[in-house]
Amino acid sequence: MTPVRKQAGFLVTMRAVLWSFFGVRKRQAYLDDAGSLNPLAVVVAGVLGGAAFVIIIVIAVQVVLA
């Protein structure tokens, strides 16, 4: 019988993606996440994180130039 993998929630996935943006991941955290993260949720979290980053940069530039 194969063991059932527990799928990580969206907040856990978002946290893993945000830490990956910084490039600061411990090996054990990576190994733990690799077994539990849903690839589709990782893609969605990456797109959301990237969009949030671009929006923050655009707002910061507008504030500085104002």
N-terminal to C-terminal alpha carbon distance within the chain: 63
Virtual CA dihedral for 39, 41, 43, 47, nearest 10 degrees? -170
Cβ(13)–Cβ(41) below 8 Å: yes
Mean pLDDT of 11-38: 80
**Residue 64 clears pLDDT 90, i.e. is over it:** yes
**Residue 24 clears pLDDT 60, i.e. is over it:** yes
pTM of the model: 0.71
The pLDDT tens digits of the residues spanning 52-62 come to 999 999 999 99
Can you tell me whether residue 40 is helix, strand or coil?
Answer: helix
**Residue 17 clears pLDDT 90, i.e. is over it:** no
Question: Picking from 10-19, 21-30, 42-51, which range would have the lowest pLDDT averaged per residue?
Answer: 21-30
Alpha carbon of residue 30 to chain centroid: 12
**Residue 2 clears pLDDT 70, i.e. is over it:** no
